[in-house]
Amino acid sequence: MTISQELAIGFGIFLLASYPILMRMLANYMQASRLRMADIGLALLEHSSVADEHKRMIRKLMDEAYNPVFMVSVSAIMPVYTIKKIMGRANRITQPSDEVKSMYNEFCTRFVTSVAAANPVFAMIAAAEMAILTMILFPLGQLWRTQDIQFGTVQAADEALEAVGRVLHRQAT
């Protein structure tokens, strides 16, 4: 066995032995953020202007905050969701007030960091996947949106010209 093979085996054993320790340290570090996320989630659930559909989603996210499998799912679903989002078919979450939007954004940020800490390996895979999809699909999405806007503008201009033509035609007769 060569020295490089021995070093690789030793490094692998070190990683296997240290991974649970690092995960425990990461969980301890994230605990304050996770508790703050739970407080914000509870406040959102009690807020009267948050729709029931959004409350169900908030409850689901609160249940999944410690789930290491969540990032695996994100890695699997991200390509399909990204394409739907760019094409404008993904569900959009809108909240009624700036206060609720701010709370919701902080809740989501803390949720993402929580599930990323629960499975940092797949969090890195998901982040790389999102970066690649963004580099590829963002320009295409901008192109599609620009074409939609241009078509919509041309269509609106055509309708306006037709309306003006009808008014002028009526005035002439």
- Asked which of 65-74, 126-135, 139-148 is least confident by mean pLDDT, the reply is 139-148
Helix ranges (H only) for the chain are 3-46, 52-64, 70-86, 98-118, 120-172
pTM over 0.85: no
Average pLDDT, the chain: 80
